[in-house]
């Protein structure tokens, strides 16, 4: 049966079925191949997409803008200074305005409730570009990258996520793995595991899909046999600077190093990171942390980040290809 996602929202991974998620990944792969071969056919001529950003963005904004441009659609970016939403105008009223002018709306910000309210009132597809709870467009890119770097079916792939797992990347990695029937492991201090409601949701999905769910504080146990090891920054966007001391104390044993990759026992293991990454002293934040704590890297060593095992820039590029697939699938465009 053909998969039809026309007009659908994408607010979190569980908004789609496993087959629909795989369809988006497969579509992204086809669109990527078409682009590389010079035969991409624009299907979104005349479409318009509003990009609403409460939180700063590099990959999400660029991915939406470039994907839309490749497919013949136009975008308008609204940052906090460029919109009244939430200050002089309610989310509900903003949603109804945007829905009258645009064919779709993307939101990147803190509260999941905001993107859900936009979806309730806009009358057009709404996409979650990141909230504190979920990061579904990143998961599409991650899974496409896994399919490109492993010949094994997703249900046979083992993915270990190390670090702070209480927020969007931990939640989304766990639920996506469960949705797709994968062997998914959360490797973190117990205090930084996903909320029990998220774990329960993943276990419910796993009961249907056959996924294997592991939460452990033991790094060696968590990464043993893993095909992919991923991590994220230890202090998320918007958190106070004084959170660094607590996170470093908790998470230093969970940094992804060559020793951690060797512990997988898999010489084909690949490293994932949604970026930005604190792997060296190339950023202002990294230099500030180094000055205060004396650390040359945080969640991943430069040795791992720059190694042949690292596929983080394939992963970053795949944000664009998978977001393009999402736009094409939900806006049901017409050829230019």
Residue 334: its pLDDT value, please?
A: 67
Of the residues 47, 142, 232, 309, only one is catalytic, namely 232
pLDDT level of residue 213 (50, 70, 90 thresholds)? very high
Do 13-134+319-331 and 151-267+270-308 fold alike per CATH?
Answer: yes
Mean local confidence (pLDDT), 288-303? 96
- What the block records as the tokens of 165 is 């797992």
Of the residues 185, 201, 319, 321, only one is catalytic, namely 319
- 336: annotated active-site residue: no
Provide the H-helix boundaries in the chain: 18-37, 59-70, 91-101, 112-122, 136-149, 168-179, 196-209, 219-223, 243-251, 258-263, 284-293, 302-305, 312-331
Of the residues 12, 71, 138, 315, only one is catalytic, namely 138
Contact indicator for 89, 78 with CB cutoff of 8 Å: no
Full-model pTM? 0.96
Residue 270: its pLDDT value, please?
A: 98
- 138: annotated active-site residue: yes
pLDDT level of residue 333 (50, 70, 90 thresholds)? low
Q: Where are the domains of the chain?
A: 13-134+319-331, 151-267+270-308
Of the residues 121, 135, 166, 247, only one is catalytic, namely 135
pLDDT level of residue 148 (50, 70, 90 thresholds)? very high
Q: Which residue has the higher pLDDT, 239 or 65?
A: 65
Return the CATH number of 151-267+270-308, one of 3.40.366.10, 3.40.50.1100, 3.40.50.1370, 3.40.640.10: 3.40.50.1370
Whether the pLDDT of residue 1 is over 60: the answer is no
Residue 2: its pLDDT value, please?
A: 66
Mean local confidence (pLDDT), 292-297? 96
Mean local confidence (pLDDT), 133-159? 97
pLDDT level of residue 237 (50, 70, 90 thresholds)? low
Output DSSP code: residue 49. Answer: E
**What mean pLDDT is reported for the chain?**
95
- 319: annotated active-site residue: yes
Tell me: the pLDDT tens digits for 33-63?
Answer: 999 999 999 999 999 999 999 998 999 999 9
Give percent above pLDDT 90 in the chain.
91
Mean local confidence (pLDDT), 279-287? 96
- What the block records as the tokens of 251 is 């998470």
CATH 2.60.40.10 given to domain 13-134+319-331: no
Mean local confidence (pLDDT), 301-313? 98
- 77: annotated active-site residue: no
- 274: annotated active-site residue: yes
Contact indicator for 174, 203 with CB cutoff of 8 Å: no
pLDDT level of residue 149 (50, 70, 90 thresholds)? very high
Give percent above pLDDT 70 in the chain.
98
Tell me: the pLDDT tens digits for 70-123?
Answer: 999 999 999 877 777 767 789 999 999 999 999 999 999 999 999 999 999 999
Of the residues 274, 309, 315, 321, only one is catalytic, namely 274
In terms of DSSP bridges, do strands 212-216 and 183-187 run parallel, antiparallel, or are they unpaired? Answer: parallel
Whether the pLDDT of residue 127 is over 90: the answer is yes
Residue 240: its pLDDT value, please?
A: 82
In terms of DSSP bridges, do strands 104-108 and 158-162 run parallel, antiparallel, or are they unpaired? Answer: unpaired
Q: Which residue has the higher pLDDT, 125 or 56?
A: 125
């Amino acid at each position: 049966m053909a998969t039809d996602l026309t007009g659908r929202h994408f607010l979190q991974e569980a908004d789609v079925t496993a087959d629909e998620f795989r369809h988006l990944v497969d579509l992204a792969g086809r669109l990527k191949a078409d682009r590389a071969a010079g035969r991409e056919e624009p299907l979104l001529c005349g479409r318009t997409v509003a990009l609403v950003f409460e939180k700063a963005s590099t990959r999400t904004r660029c991915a939406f803008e470039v994907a839309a441009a490749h497919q013949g659609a136009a975008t308008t970016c609204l940052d906090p200074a460029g919109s009244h939403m939430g200050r002089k105008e309610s989310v509900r009223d903003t949603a109804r305005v945007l829905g009258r002018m645009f064919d779709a709306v993307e939101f990147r910000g803190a509260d999941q409730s905001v993107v859900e309210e936009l979806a309730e009132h806009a009358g057009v597809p709404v996409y979650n570009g990141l909230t504190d709870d979920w990061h579904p467009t990143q998961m599409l890119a991650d899974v496409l990258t896994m399919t490109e770097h492993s010949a094994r079916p997703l249900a046979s792939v083992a993915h270990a996520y190390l670090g702070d797992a209480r927020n969007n990347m931990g939640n989304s990695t766990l639920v996506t793995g469960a949705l797709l029937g994968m062997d998914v492991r959360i490797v973190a201090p117990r205090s930084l595991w996903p909320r029990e409601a998220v774990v329960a949701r993943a276990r419910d999905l796993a009961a249907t899909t056959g996924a294997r769910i592991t939460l452990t504080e033991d790094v060696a146990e968590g990464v043993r046999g893993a095909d992919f090891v991923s991590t994220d920054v230890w202090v998320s966007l918007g958190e106070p600077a004084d959170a660094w001391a607590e996170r470093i104390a908790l998470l230093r044993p969970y940094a992804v190093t060559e020793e951690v990759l060797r512990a997988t026992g898999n010489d084909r293991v690949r490293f994932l990171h949604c970026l930005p990454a604190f792997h060296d002293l190339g950023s202002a934040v990294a230099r500030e942390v180094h000055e205060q704590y004396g650390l040359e890297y945080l969640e991943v060593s430069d040795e791992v980040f720059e190694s042949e095992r690292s596929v983080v820039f394939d992963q970053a590029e795949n944000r664009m290809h998978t977001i393009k697939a999402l736009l094409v699938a939900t806006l049901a465009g017409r050829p230019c």
